[in-house]
Amino acid sequence: MGEEGVVTEPDGRGIAQGAIRILYEDEDLLVVDKPPGQCMHPTVHHPRGTLMDAVLAYWAARGETRAFHPVTRLDVGTSGATLIAKSPAAHAQLARLQAAGAVRKTYLACVEGRVPRSSGVIDAPIGRVPGSIIQRAVRRDGQPACTRYRVAVRYAAGTLLISRPLTGRTHQIRVHLAHLGHPLFGDDLYGGARTAIARPALHAWRLAFPHPRTGELVRLTAPLPEDFRRLLERLADPFSSPCGG
């Protein structure tokens, strides 16, 4: 327990549990550190090895029969803290908190180029690209979308940003940063190069929310995965080019 009324992770690293990495768990909820490349649910292209499979297997090994109730969702390439309810009642309460803006998600995003402003707000509607099921873009007829960001570190060829989505649109941070002229490293769907990292350099770093039963503030941090760390090391090396060559 941290300061009064605040629940924090014990060491910032989480607890290794087989196929999942647990950041926090109690009778109402589970927060796991999703690795990059893992899909949330089974799909046509990812029928097995999903986060749902891993979580259900973890519960089954403990003799628990539960349904998978994710509250926050990450793209297959995005890593980091993912909140899962352990009952329909907890899910409903957490969903209400999320709709009210009480579930605070903070991401680390590494983008191409040097972002000139130290902080800013990207307020631009997002909609589906015509003819594509997956791709999104800033569009006048899109849904309202707002993202805050601030610069954490500037490198010669890139910038590490701390970013908070204030709305929850599909691919929101990815689309907004590409719209800003600074696509994520590895995000070839939105103009980023995959030479330095093979997936979008986006990590769900911090998660904070009121506990659905007690109201205490739960604050958790997911450590950077190895591929993201290697990218930052490469950007910090003056003799290394993150775009190849």
CB 72 within 8 A of CB 103: yes
221/232 Cα distance (integer angstroms): 18
**Active-site choice (75, 123, 187, 227):** 75
The amino acid at 10: P
- Burial zone of 141 (CB within 10 Å; 0-12 exposed, 13-18 middle, 19+ buried): exposed
Task: Compute φ and ψ for 114, nearest 5 degrees.
Answer: -95, 110
Per the annotation, the verdict on 33 as an active-site residue is no
Place of tokens 């352990």: 86
Listed in sequence order, the DSSP H helices in the chain are 51-61, 88-99, 172-179, 226-236
Nearest to 171 by CA among 154, 192, 150, 152: 192
**CB contact at 8 A, 109 and 136:** no
Please compute Rg for the chain using Cα positions. 18
Contact between 73 and 120 under an 8 Å Cβ cutoff? The reply is: no
Tell me the catalytic residues: 75
